[in-house]
Structure 1
């Protein structure tokens, strides 16, 4: 018997309906009334970080990382909607791909990740 994948991500929200609508509108996460989102298969990084890590905000217990297929187009669409998108050249590598950061309406950091082609 083994774990085969992440079965869900559960987090508290001041306004769950508004937050779900934001994810649907800006990131295309279509979760039904039951919260089920059918996603594409692919790798998932499961990585506890040291308590002292500065990879994401100290006041956040976790950061959501979402795989994307066209980071440049998504970043442009988010910025056009008034959502700040942070990009840093040091985040991007040939081995791991390209990255950008945004925050949801309640401040949760979201890393957008386009894995390398191939």
Structure 2
């Protein structure tokens, strides 16, 4: 299994990941979850159950009302990691965007460095 691919998809693109595999060892499951998989399905599986799991993961990723955030003339689109200011659009890497989005969405809150590191980088 390519745990590095899972980690790359999660860190750089914020994509939901469901691993579908025949490997059912606990160590494989642990490694998958540690690298960021949202769900782990082993073969054989019921197609209907897989559909339930896919819907559940997609539901967790639905940003809904917080998909876009406006602060002054700045608009942040979380789905596309896109920032628009004065009719100019730019894109940030995932972690930088997450940090900016967090700070803009809590304008009067002071964050401790360790809290930011934990929230954004998970350490």
TM band (smaller chain): under 0.3
Looking at secondary structure, tell me which structure has more strand per residue. 2
Looking at secondary structure, tell me which structure has more helix per residue. 2
- Structure number with greater Rg is 2
